[in-house]
Amino acid sequence: MGALIFSGLISTLLAIKAYKAFNYRSLPFAKHFILIMLCMALWSVNYAFEIGFLDIEFKYLFAHLQYLGIAFAPVAWFLFAAEYSGVCRQFARKYEKLLFLFPCLAILLMLTNSIHGLYFEGFYLDASGGFPLLVLKHGPFFWFFYIYSFGLIFAGIFFFFRQFIHLTAPYGTQAAIALTAACVPVIGNLLHIANIGPFEFFDPTPFSFAITGLILFWGTIQHEFLNIIPVARESVIESMNDGYIVVDFSNSIVDINKAALELAGKVRKEVMGENLNGIFGEGVEIFGDSPEGSFGREISLKSGLETRFFTVSVSPLMTRDDAEGKLVMIHDITEIHRYQEALKQANKKINLMSNITRHDILNQVNVLSGYTELISEMLPPDVKGDRRISKYLRNLNKGIETIHSQIIFTKDYQELGVVSPTWQSISNIAKEAAFAFSGQGLKFSIEDNGLDVYADPLLKKAFYNLFDNARNHGDHVSEIDVSSHIVGESVVIEVKDNGIGVSPVMKELIFEKSVGRNTGLGLFLVRGILSITGMEINETGIEGEGARFEISVSPGNWRRSSSEGGPHEIKQYLNKP
């Protein structure tokens, strides 16, 4: 009797859980689950009272009350299974009221059974087992309703079995939980109806509800049963334009949608259980030597004379903390690839025209420079000594040099952002940039901290310009230090020298275009190169103690070098005077 009360309590608690967890008015499956739990509670509690009372009239009364749960439970189960799994959902919604008509008719006939005897032909007490049990002789309508009820129950079991076969974690696990929970009371009821052994007079079905309740409660806690809602596969997965593939740990296909099958040119039977790397033809490997966990890559597939391009995203399928397979999504980027290729061709033509134009302008600048030099040499001594003429010639030469420098700068700026950013070692790039200053009396101290940054390929040019800026504007610079360290989630790269430093009023102006004693383009280009991947540069030194440039690298744009075992420091001294 205690087990029956416990079963009713568990069922009631699960009904309350479903009521609080979901908006049952907008989620039809929730209200059906609540009804199932309430039916189980009514059945269990009333059966407990039927067993507990010794008077036959009270037993017969509580046997009638049980049918408030018995009659509606099969219909609620069928509707819950249809809504939850998505199988026959439209049928269930269309005929929901009609399905409840038979349980209502069964209760009506049971209440009026004394008139017609269609539901129970009679009842009596059996005390042969030492404990009085109520025995009911079933009438013709009982068997009709019994077949109807079991038809609905087995249909619901089939829905969840179908979901268990076709869906992956976590929905497949949820389906297995529902299947197990449903089969326990069904087996118990079949044993009772078939009069097998001790179950001829004793109905184990309400007792089995305790096991069912515990299974559902365990599923709710451990596998989020009722917390995540499955959506009909056909209405979502099969309608997707992207390829969808689920594989197990051996990369064998366990689920695939129509879009992926069309890409492979195969039918479902040909690919189920096959290794994913082999379904798209030779030379196309989805995984290859890719790392564990989530990753992405690009592939190309030939379809007749046409080549199409796709991005492949692979992520682990998790149930709590355990991986149960991999999800592969294949997205068509052919149009994007074509636009990129067209853009590359357009940029190539523009760059070609820019190179030709720049070459022609530089030729004319060289001609002007040559003629200016000839004029200067051919002037009479008295004219050449005129201060105004000398000033004019100096300004003319300076203008020619400025035009020349700016034309050269356009070549560097033209290459900015053309090539995709890459991972680059801070120390290696700094060393390569420093090599250009060999034999110029500069001592470089470059710290190897095992850090990479995601930057434009012109990063070496940025370091070169910083070193060149120190040499040209630091007056007596003899030492340049490059170091990097982690600050919170970011990395800061420092480039400092032992020169005269930068005055406070110039700390921001030096990064503007055309500011400085020469072209004023060096630091402007540095900031442009760094900004491609979100890096920022500021001058933080103290005037008189040397310049110090700090480059801030945001989270996600830096990493430890794969070849490094951890941070360490190696000082490289280059170009000693």
> Could you report the per-residue pLDDT of 80-95, keeping only the tens digit for each?
888 877 778 788 888 8
pLDDT at residue 360 above 70? yes
E-state strands within 304-358: 306-319, 322-332
Q: 569 phi and psi, to 5 degrees? A: -125, 125
For residue 334, the tally of other CB atoms under 10 A from its CB is 14
pLDDT tens column, 534-568: 999 999 999 889 999 999 999 989 998 865 444 43
Give the other-Cβ count within 10 Å of 520's Cβ: 19
pLDDT-derived band at 569 (thresholds 50, 70, 90) equals very low
Higher per-residue pLDDT: 551 or 360 = 551
Is the per-residue pLDDT at 210 higher than 80? no
18: CB partners within 8 A, 6+ apart: 24, 30, 33, 34, 37, 226
Interatomic CA distance for residues 262 and 277, integer angstroms: 16
8 A C-beta contact, residue 68 and residue 107: yes
286 and 278 in contact (C-beta within 8 Å)? no
Q: Work out the percent of the chain whose per-residue pLDDT is above 90.
A: 12
Is the pLDDT confidence value at 573 over 60? Answer: no
Per-residue pLDDT at 8: 57
Residue 322 is predicted with a pLDDT of: 65
> What's the residue count for the chain?
577
Mean pLDDT, residues 234-259:
81
| pLDDT range class, residue 577, cuts 50, 70, 90 | very low
Q: How far, in Å, CA of 173 to CA of 181, rounded?
A: 12
Backbone angles phi, psi at 502, to 5 degrees: -125, 135
Q: What does DSSP assign to residue 476?
A: S
Q: Please report, to the nearest 10 degrees, the dihedral formed by the alpha carbons of residues 219, 224, 227, 232 taken in order.
A: -90
Kindly tell me the burial class for residue 311, based on how many C-beta atoms sit within 10 Å of its own C-beta (0-12, 13-18, 19 or more): middle
Q: Report pTM.
A: 0.44
